Structure 1
């Protein structure tokens, strides 16, 4: 016998699940929603992140549709100078707590169960007491755990660490001051992703000499230039120029690697070391100021993945060894925001009595989730909903990127032809261009002329993306 009933049971109170709930509350005024999550507060992996973590993208594109995030004043100092601010972990956690406590719960239509583990078939148990609760789900279960985001504080290291090896995770670095004079003489960043880059920037801004930093970089990465991802009319021409450049590069390239080389030449994509060809692309977004800082680190080790660490020594997968100072502090930055093995497990979002939230416009995961809720509330059958929201694969390399980009354009084309969705997009805060274009059209803004080159770019870009996507599918399937 059920303890209570609900229309939708949402597994996960991270950004993706909360964005879905937020839109459902607006689009279906009669529905009741239950949220089950293992953390003690809303926000998912943000609860576990290092203290100096910040969004890659401007705050304006993150969170939920109903509640603004950040402000419209650009940063006046630091490596993000001249660009819109990036919310830090504390600000993000506060935002989501405010959302749940001031909007969701007072509505009387949301039941929130933190510190609870979902067991399946409408059952969950309290992590602390073990008490089980059964819910009768009148409509659907919503799986908001597809991304399986991990951070250094929660992931399992994939390499050995000898006893006595000084090692920390990024979240422990701000507490080093408590050690007084007993500080490391050297720092070794382990990992190549955005967490490693954030850690490098933090160390440099904290005053660590670049020569006192070693960076173990298994794969170099292409990075999105944040200057071309900014919201609002003032950056509109740059945003459109970037989109046109990507289409033209796709049309003129034989591989994703070549496409990225072209974009890198024009500054739309960035890399830390101009002499190294990046093999990775995970949508990490960075400012030119951050890149300038990271280039100060000259001790970069490229021997592939590390297999073991011990005081003063690093061992790599090809049995290569590198020595560092005996008191060097290793900093584990090897967590993967979205494990690539999970990215492959795509399928339709709408599966009868289950919705599996996936990206419809990569990499905008909260926007995708809000749009999925809109589809659920406004269209009748799964076939229609799935045609309007085709999951786009996240990418691991430049060669797999065109498939995600092509899916974005296919979805956008379908949305533009649907009056219901078009009207919603024109008001959707999370859509990077919808509200901006609507505002500029209403004001007769002459900067809209930047869109004049779009048709020509699409004419050459879409066939190019289709060609590159064939190879991308093969590379995805091989992993």
Structure 2
């Protein structure tokens, strides 16, 4: 079958949140023609296969694409997120991205969308359903919006084996497998495991009937500190000032985390267990209190085998109670931690240029592509902030984020773009501070005053980490 020939300025591979945020800025800031190719039937990437009770972990107000609001500034009035800005459900996020495609992108006449297609490289892709092939002549650049690959329990390959007779389900199909089991074993200590434990508690499962397998405890972020509204200024911007002061005043990495915890920046579920993981998950104070009620947290490392009657670890075996449903929440949110240049010739590979915010990062990268001509300048403005895994990864992540923020502050046009970008979150409430509001100005003064000493301390810690890694190798 002869391939159909297509032409565009930008070929965007992937219509997940990153691809959509990138394409949205290109559409609004250039006259480019765009082709978007994706393996799923609808835009939204992994949200197409999300578990039914998933929500965003951070406010909907700064998620999605720049040009269309996902949240109307709604404050939750019930539930464990009560008093904080609402968190869109998976269904809401999926519907949102579909609406962006159907109501904004396609009607523009400058976007062509090819769902249910496998991209094969070199501008070639093939329809999954009909086998039709396409070859694209790209005038400007290919955008690989699939590089930050998200793994989900429904499709990932578990790192453990299991017996066929085990009552087992990925979290994505949990609601279909609940059949009055007496006990539930949750495998995975990350965001998905947290969500699953909270869902079970909210659905009247007693805490003692939830058995949570946590291979590594994690440092968590207080969601109250992520609220992009002026009424939360002293929480959100205050937490940033507290963070800089905690770093600047610390004598070691462990001492830094102790101070971050003392100042309410970092949280943990069990004060007697030292976390060794950080993935940027957020919890409300009510959610943290609920998780602290769980008496059965199993800490033997990673599960090697799920048997009919017991879980097997490297050096331990844990006997499961009778009538137990095992729930797999062990997939890693991001599977690709390697860093590539964002701008490399005729290829753009969106990655995080600000911690915790992949969609803002994608939008900023698209703006840099649209607004700047020199590749060296583009590379300077979009240096990658490494994704964290271990607790100590918080150090280079934070240092890279501060470096980028300093670079952006010295580029007036980009600084103004960030201030007006819906996905930024906090610039507007900072710039909205009145000149006579001494309480808020004091917070901003603390933040500014501690930033440079904090950066110096982070560089010192990074030198120590590199030295210890060289010795270990």
Rounded Cα–Cα distance in structure 2 between residues aligned with 1:269 and 1:454: 17
In structure 2, what is the Cα distance between the partners aligned to 1:454 and 1:97? 39
Unaligned regions of 5+ residues in structure 1, if any?
A: none
Q: How many residues align?
A: 469
Matched, 1:366 2:363: no
Q: Are the structure 2 counterparts of residues 472 and 74 from structure 1 closer, same or farther at C-alpha, using a change threshold of 3 Å?
A: farther
> Would you say the 8 A contact 1:118–1:125 is kept in 2?
yes
Query: Contact between 2:218 and 2:391, CA under 8 Å: does it hold in 1?
Result: no
Are 2:177 and 1:201 aligned?
Answer: no
* 202 and 474 in structure 1: CA distance in 2 versus 1, 3 angstrom threshold: farther
Gaps of 5+ in 2: none
CA distance in 1 between partners of 2:468 and 2:287 (Å)? 31
Q: Are residue 327 (structure 1) and residue 323 (structure 2) matched?
A: yes
TM-score norm. by structure 1 comes to 0.94
Q: CA deviation at 1:254?
A: 4.1
Against the structure 1 CA distance between its residues 251 and 445, is the aligned structure 2 distance closer, same or farther, given a 3 Å change threshold? Answer: closer
Distance in 2 of aligned mates of 1:474 and 1:16: 35
Q: Distance in 1 between matches of 2:73 and 2:465?
A: 38
Structure 2 counterpart of 1:425: 418
Mapped to 2, the partners of 1:435 and 1:375 lie a distance apart of: 20
Alignment match, 1:167: 168
Question: What residue in structure 1 maps to residue 29 of structure 2?
Answer: 27
2:224 aligns with 227
- Match of residue 465 from structure 1: 458
- Per the TM alignment, residue 475 of structure 1 is displaced from its structure 2 partner at its CA by 7.9
Q: Spell out, residue by residue over 1:86-144, the C-alpha distance to the aligned partner (whole angstroms, 9 max, x if none).
A: 11100100110000000000000111111101000000001112211001000000011
Return 444-453 or 216-225, whichever deviates more. 444-453
SS of 1:3's partner is strand
Task: Tell me which residue corresponds to 2:260.
Answer: 263
Correspondence for 1:65? 66
Check the 8 A contact 1:402/1:472 in 2, yes or no: no
Q: How much does 1:172 deviate?
A: 2.1
* TM-score normalised to structure 2 length: 0.95
CA contact (8 A) 1:312 1:328 kept: no
Q: Is contact 2:246–2:263 with CA below 8 Å preserved after alignment?
A: no
Query: Cα distance, 1:298 vs. partner?
Result: 0.5
Residues 474, 89 of structure 1: alpha-carbon distance in 2 compared, 3 angstrom cutoff: farther
| Contact 1:281 1:395 (8 Å CA) reproduced | yes
Q: How well do the aligned residues superpose, as a CA RMSD in angstroms?
A: 1.8
How far 1:253 sits from its partner (Å)? Answer: 2.6
Distance 1:473 1:124, change over 3 A: farther
Conserved in 2, the CA contact under 8 Å of 1:147 and 1:338?
A: yes
CA–CA separation in structure 1 for the residues paired with 2:64 and 2:278: 24
Q: Please give the alpha-carbon distance, in whole angstroms, between the structure 2 residues aligned to 1:326 and 1:359.
A: 44
